[in-house]
Amino acid sequence: MNFRHNKQSKGTPVATFGDDSITVEELKQKFSEMSPFIRTRYQTIEQRKEYVDTLARFELLAAEAHKRGLQNDPEVVDAAKNMMVRKLLQKEEEEKKTVVPDAEIADYYEKHKADYVKPETTRLSNIFFAAAKEDAAARAKKRKLAEEVLAKAKAKPPTDSASFIALVREYSEDLKTKSLDGDMRFLAEADLKTQYGPEVASAVASLSKLGDLSGVVETPQGFHLLRFQGRQAAINHGLDQVKTQIDSRIKYDRRQQSFNALVQKLKDQAGYKLDEANLAKVEIDTKPPSPPPGAPPLSPPPGAPPSVEIPRAAGQPPSASQPGSRPATTSPPPAMAPPAAKPPAQPGVKPAAGH
Closest to 330 (Cα-Cα) out of 218, 210, 173:
210
- Contact at 8 Å (CB) between 117 and 208? no
Buried b (16+ CB within 10 A) or exposed e, 223-247: bbbbbbbbbbeebebeeeebbebbb
- Sign, CA dihedral 324-327-332-336, equals positive
Q: Which long-range contacts (CB under 8 A, 24 or more apart) does 299-308 make?
A: 306/78, 306/81, 306/82, 306/85, 307/340, 308/85, 308/89
pLDDT at 350: 40
Closest to 329 (Cα-Cα) out of 207, 225, 238, 153:
207
**In angstroms, what CA-CA distances link 84 with 1, 77, 145?**
13, 10, 68
Closest to 153 (Cα-Cα) out of 143, 166, 140:
166
CA dihedral 317, 319, 321, 323 (to 10 degrees): 30
- Contact at 8 Å (CB) between 227 and 208? no
3-state SS track over 320-353: CCCCCCCCECCCCCCCCCCCCCCCCCCCCCCCCC
pLDDT at 110: 95
Domains of the chain, each with CATH number or no CATH: 1-72 (no CATH), 121-232 (3.10.50.40)
Q: Report d(CA 214, CA 182) in Å as an integer.
A: 14
Q: What is the pLDDT along the chain (355 residues), one digit of tens a residue?
A: 777 888 878 899 999 998 899 999 999 999 999 999 999 999 999 999 999 999 999 999 999 999 999 999 999 999 999 999 999 999 988 888 889 999 999 999 999 999 999 999 999 999 999 998 888 999 999 999 999 999 999 999 999 999 999 999 999 999 999 999 999 999 999 999 999 999 999 999 899 999 999 999 999 999 999 999 999 999 999 999 999 999 999 999 999 999 999 999 999 999 999 999 999 999 988 887 777 777 666 555 555 556 666 555 544 544 444 444 554 443 333 333 333 444 544 444 343 444 4
pLDDT at 97: 82
Closest to 218 (Cα-Cα) out of 135, 143, 152, 141:
143
- Contact at 8 Å (CB) between 132 and 218? no
Q: Report d(CA 160, CA 226) in Å as an integer.
A: 14
Crossing angle of helices 136-154/161-171, nearest 10°? Answer: 160
What count of Cα atoms within 13 Å lies in the side-chain half-sphere of residue 177? 26
pLDDT at 271: 95
Closest to 314 (Cα-Cα) out of 141, 161, 93:
93
